[in-house]
Structure 1
Amino acid sequence: MSGRTHARACPERTCVGCRERAAKSDLLRIVAVGDECVPDHRGTLPGRGAYLHPAVVCLDQAVRRRAFPRALRVQGALETAALRTVIEATP
């Protein structure tokens, strides 16, 4: 025996809003398309991604901290209106 467990560890990511670690499947991947933050539900859009809890509280914290341009390595501010409507519609 090598001492390793046979259970697969699920990947974890950090929410850019609240800075808490969570399972990747519990977070929403965000990518920058042009000057806009776009949700990537399937996780297949190209480019650098940032992860966020699908909650308005975390979105507000990320916007207030200017976390999206930093996490996505983009110059200038990013538009989050479309992202907000998607998160508000999420139950």
Structure 2
Amino acid sequence: MDEILEPQMNYVGKKLAYYSALIGTLIFLTYLLSKSLFLMIAGVVFILGAGIVNVLVLAVILIELICNQTHWRSTVVTIICMLLNIPLVILYLFILSYFHL
């Protein structure tokens, strides 16, 4: 009996969400320690770049979900993982603005 494998984009989406959060957190924490203008600019550029890439991958995953609903639960988990980066960015921006960092 052949096993139906999970779509490759689910794996890519989860890894992208994980590494986006990890890199963004590292930039944020490094900025908090150093107060470097370069890191602030790098953080903004990273947010914009990661946002564009994440939106494109999310769109592909949504199209894949519409076309192939075999692994819909796994795909929904991937979408949730990717969308969890949005509140994380908002939290970091709130911390920076509230504490005037």
RCO higher in structure (CA 8 A, sep ≥6):
2
Question: Which has more helix, going by share of residues?
Answer: 2
Q: Does the pair score TM above 0.5?
A: no
Which TM-score applies when normalising by structure 1?
Answer: 0.26
- How high is the TM-score relative to the length of structure 2? 0.25
Answer 1 or 2: which has greater strand percent: 1
Q: If you compute each CA radius of gyration, which structure gives the higher value, 1 or 2?
A: 2
